[in-house]
Structure 1
Amino acid sequence: MCFYLIVKQSLQRAPLPGRLTRPYRINMDLYLRGALAVLYVTLTCNGFIIDSRFPVIKDGKTMGSFFGFSVALHKQTKGSNKYLLLAGAPKEKALALWNVNETGAIYSCPVTTELNDCARMDLVSSSKYWHFVTVTVTTVSSPYERVYRLNG
């Protein structure tokens, strides 16, 4: 804040003839406020990074299944309260009951340090398309909603 006050006071002094006219001083004041706002946000906001010291590594069951092509973190609230990694494997082989070769699969993995503790989730499908190329987790915001009705 001290730096801002010093710069603002120096801009308010009488300008040299032909230089630093009033619109320029206003623009400089806005730029300075914007720069300070960006600096404040970058110093006070926190993000997440990939933990390289304690990674969670999971291994797929089948080679070539593209296990981990899409990954999402899910919090299970029914039953036991725990976090799960949902990993998609779009080229996973079909179960023996189906008449197709590659249906894709989705795996539920607990957040542990074990490599092979993922379990295939039972989802029914009979198409030949890559399923689970992307994993989407849906969240719900506030309980309020607005309903707009057209024509009545």
Structure 2
Amino acid sequence: MVAFASSSNDHFYYFAYGSCMCPVDLKRSLGENTHAYVVGPATLAGYRLGFFRRSRLRNCGVLDVVADPGSTVQGVLYHLPWRLSPALDLREEGYCHETVAVTCNGQTYDNTRTYSVISKTHQEIAPNEWYSSVVMRGAATCGLPEQYCWELFHHIHSLQRRQADGSPLRRTA
């Protein structure tokens, strides 16, 4: 993982918490290898994860960050060239930019871009196996804490099980 001292005018910091954590999957959308742009595992304080959007392309629930003062979200910090910004925005259709501060390798990165769902569903929607595997692969590949990976895995499995059983899923608020 590469450490960058500060953001320059030709790059921006991006915090990924869903399928974009996986550099291989991100490469599909951005058109070039993204491994070199990984700064490392990062923490976003004051938010929690939830599957509060149905992706029309993936036909399943996809991840979102929701403000929650007592929670944290683990993800991957990238230092991307600005030329990739339009392709990233296209990939994140249905989401809007949000500027956050994340901690990575003991350093705080202010003015970091992340994306949050514009029109959240009232309840979580289970992800499909393909999306789940991409998210988990990104979490493991980029070195997110093992405990967090297990918690994410169990949450995904729980949503999938409840959806299969027809039970209600967690609400946004």
TM-score (norm: length of structure 2): 0.21
Write 1 or 2 for the structure with the bigger share of strand: 2
Write 1 or 2 for the structure with the bigger share of helix: 2
TM-score (norm: length of structure 1): 0.24
For the pair shown, which has the larger CA radius of gyration, 1 or 2?
1
Higher relative contact order (CA 8 A, sep 6+): 2
